[in-house]
Amino acid sequence: MCHDQGIGKTRKERMQRRKKAERNRKMCSSLIACFLLQLGIAFISDF
């Protein structure tokens, strides 16, 4: 029983870690897009 719980826990943690990594990747890409957008707006407003 205890052994099974350990296996279930690691599998659950792995799933959560994968979801977190996916979310971080999406957030990072959106942050980069936002940063580039702001750079473009600043560049245009300078002219």
Kindly report, residue by residue over 21-34, the tens digit of the pLDDT. 999 889 888 988 98
pLDDT over 90 at 19, yes or no: yes
What mean pLDDT value characterizes the chain?
83
Distance CA 16, CA 13 (A): 5
Model-level pTM greater than 0.75? no
What are 8's two structure tokens?
């279930």
Range of the domain at 46: 1-47
**Three-class SS of residue 2?**
helix
Selection from 43, 21, 40, 42 nearest residue 32 by Cα: 40
What are 21's two structure tokens?
């990594």
Q: How many domains does the chain have?
A: 1
User: What's the N-to-C CA distance of the chain in angstroms?
Assistant: 69
What are 28's two structure tokens?
């990072």
